[in-house]
Amino acid sequence: MFVLPINTLSRHSQRHSQHQASEFSRRLESMFHADADQAMTLRSPALDVSETATAYTLQLDMPGVSKEAIKISIEGRRVSIDAEQAKPAPAPTNADASQPPAPAAQLLYRERALTRYSRSVSLPQEVNQADSNAKLENGVLTLTLVKRQAAGASHLTVS
């Protein structure tokens, strides 16, 4: 077996080796950075829960999400929040409406992919949906969940 030290390789062999290395890097990069139209990241948003005598307050960080994209479901004590971040808008190409539209810009590189948020919480007591509310402000979703009042003891008359 014959081994050549790197410094004695011909220029052709060096270029060939560099080409193979860059091709390998490009393919490896493409595996981890899929097309942003298809790529979606699933995140569990940071959550703070506080309680008063009458309600629970949940605060979740959901940057880049519109209020229309948030779905909240309440089943007894379980609260589930799902949302999908809006697709990043392309950079504007022409601000003057009197001129014909400019051709669409070709995207060269993208790191901003879609993000889906999902979180479920089981609370100690059931929630009254009718009196509860939610608001989204500065990327923070705040849920005020009113506790359902326990039904009082009922008496049954024996006949």
Render pLDDT for 87-131 as a digit per residue (tens, 0 to 9): 666 666 555 667 777 777 887 777 777 889 999 999 999 999 999
- Quick one: how far is CA 123 from the chain centroid? 23
Q: Which residues of 1-32 are buried (b: 16+ CB within 10 A; e: fewer)?
A: eeeeeeeeeeeeeeeeeeeeeeeeeeeeeeee
In this prediction, residue 5 carries a pLDDT of 46
What pTM did the predictor assign?
0.62
Interatomic CA distance for residues 112 and 97, integer angstroms = 28
In this prediction, residue 61 carries a pLDDT of 94
Render pLDDT for 47-88 as a digit per residue (tens, 0 to 9): 999 999 999 999 999 988 999 999 999 998 999 999 988 766
In this prediction, residue 2 carries a pLDDT of 43
Render pLDDT for 2-61 as a digit per residue (tens, 0 to 9): 444 444 445 556 666 777 777 777 766 666 655 545 567 888 899 999 999 999 999 999
Provide the sign of the torsion angle of the four alpha carbons 95, 99, 100, 102, taken in this order: negative
Nearest 5°: the CA angle 34, 38, 40 is: 85
- Flag whether pLDDT at 141 surpasses 50: yes
User: Domain locations in the chain?
Assistant: 9-35, 40-88+111-147
| Amino acid occupying residue 37 | D
CATH classification code of 40-88+111-147:
2.60.40.790
